[in-house]
Structure 1
Amino acid sequence: MFHVYKQVFPCVHKELNHWIERAKSIPNNELRVQALASIEEKTFHCEGGGIYSLLAGKNKDRAIRFIVAYQTISDYLDNLCDRSTSMNPDDFRLLHQSMTDALTPENDLKNYYAYRTDQDDGGYLHDLVETCQTILRESRDYSLVHPYTIKLGSLYNDLQVHKHVIEEERIPRLKQWFDDHQKEWPHLEWYEFSACSGSTLGIFCLVSYMLGGKIDESLAEQVARSYFPFMQGLHILLDYYIDQQEDEEEGDLNFCSYYSHEDVMKERFAYFVKQTHGEIQKLPDPAFHQMIHEGLVGMYLADRKVGKLNNGKAFVKGLLKVSGHKAKFFYYNTKMYHKLKPGRSL
């Protein structure tokens, strides 16, 4: 954590400041507003992702540059889709093609805004994509990683398309999508599979190991298997858990609402915790991945929003018990951090 605060976060904020300045010059008002809002509201996504740069060794700064650019694309597009008057799946698909192109250095840039009225971003999205492409193009081992980043990235893109269409089509599309993958993941429910697809952690882990010169085909395959579905699923389910009341008030999709009973949800969260713990023991640097795992649990459960949830205290107590002593460390430290920094939320 000393290295994170002293080496990682300052570099993350330096990169974010670059993209903030870049976003300020976007000609179109709507695109400019959403670009700036996505960074301001979701800085913690880049901070959390940036921790993976520690796996990149001397190439830590390059890893941070990639992670911040890729996550900034993700957060920007999420804002465009969430707050858009468009409900066109072709629009969402084309916007997220930018994330596929960011992971594929040989791909040409496109007009990702072709299906929407607001188009002139002054090259902002192209610059983000090119930043990712340049870092990956310069890395001789990326061919070992590419099949796995693309698989994880494609699942992420599919989720974003299906969950942003008109309300009556969302659940049927998500269920049909899961039907296409259920044979591979029979132990998941459709809403759990959706959650597992919504995280970028596996991609950050793969790219950081590659930039650290530690990757081979076996490790790339193991990282993908260790992170998807359980680590990524735990990450996003926790995110949805703390947002339950907020999403209900705003009428937004929340995957936690599809558990038949709160006791079932508790059991499934505990299952994800235990499965994640087992999978990350198969990776090099298991203590690092365990820190991420327990840090996710502790930091999310310490969010102020949990205090507004029915039975929130009991849920926190139970999940911390199965998650390990480091989860409690992160939980209490994050609670203290919130007290010292009023108004900040995850």
Structure 2
Amino acid sequence: MENQITVEKATTKKPKPEADQLEFGRSFTDHMFILDYDVEQGWHNPRIVPYQPIILDPAAIVFHYGQTVFEGLKAYITNGGETQLFRPQKNMQRLNRSNERMCIPSIDEELALEAIKELVRIDREWIPTAPGTSLYIRPFVISTEPYLGVAPSKKYQFIVILSPVGAYYKEGINPVKIAVETEFARTVKGGTGEAKTAGNYASSLKAQELVAKEGYAQVLWLDGLEKKYIEEVGSMNVFFKINGEVVTPELNGSILEGVTRNSVIRLLDHWGIPHSERKISMDEIYQAYQNGELEEAFGAGTAAVISPIGELAWKGEKLEINQGETGPISKKIYDTLTGIQYGTEDDPFGWTVTVS
């Protein structure tokens, strides 16, 4: 594969939204990256072009059988004026794990990362600098072969687009209300839950739509078989602090292995805070709440970073956590992660990558 990335600059620049008008995922920068695949040439023709519509055959496999994966990471402007990424290698590794699960050819991770860095360099002026803002990076792969047969595609495109964003939840670091889902299932062990693929999110929409009408920000998913064990929130992994110990559901084949999840666990290790990855039932959470031992709960993900949970709705009851306030562990993790991302905190782990 020819690794030389060609660049075609946009001749007309789009207006940039003001920082206080940013909505998550609504605005997009002037350029995008595209990489093609076919069985004869493999991955080839890496290029940065002006942001534009994608032209696909109506029979493209992605439309009919959902063979697609995606990733999400961010670029930040530090206080020193540098541009940096947060653990992008982990995202590229996870992209290829998702590719493997969805029968998509693996991508050269070094080339993908260099493409992202070059795209961010070109559209650097789009990175917002107001507190809490960043440039969201969305790499994704779509199957493009026109074929109405249930089989892996022989053609693909790997594309990267960029979007200046503010907070994912309007609450920001303030606690959100979450409803525990007891009817629908997002995925099951052996399914595609551990892959970052579109179908997982499509299957979550109905439950999300219903709880939003009741004022809840997200759904907390239970396992798809017994509806007993906690898995994850729609857009985040989830953590609970119970009687001094931070616990999170263990990876089981139906839970996405989050980059922020891993970062939280590394920080807890670093600080010597007791923690474990294991099966956690809603019955256990409810009992801990009844006993006064449920001290904190929070979600962790790229979009929101850390989102404290102030209330869990389950079986007609509302479990208020930490009086609906942000807990000290949630706040410390949020401040540390965002501090590393924006360059205001030391990075003892070597997580940040500077975009020169």
- Give the TM-score taking structure 2 as reference length: 0.28
Pick 1 or 2: higher relative contact order, CA cutoff 8 A, min separation 6: 2
Alignment TM-score, normalising by the size of structure 1: 0.29
Question: Greater helix share, 1 or 2?
Answer: 1
Query: Highest Rg: 1 or 2?
Result: 2
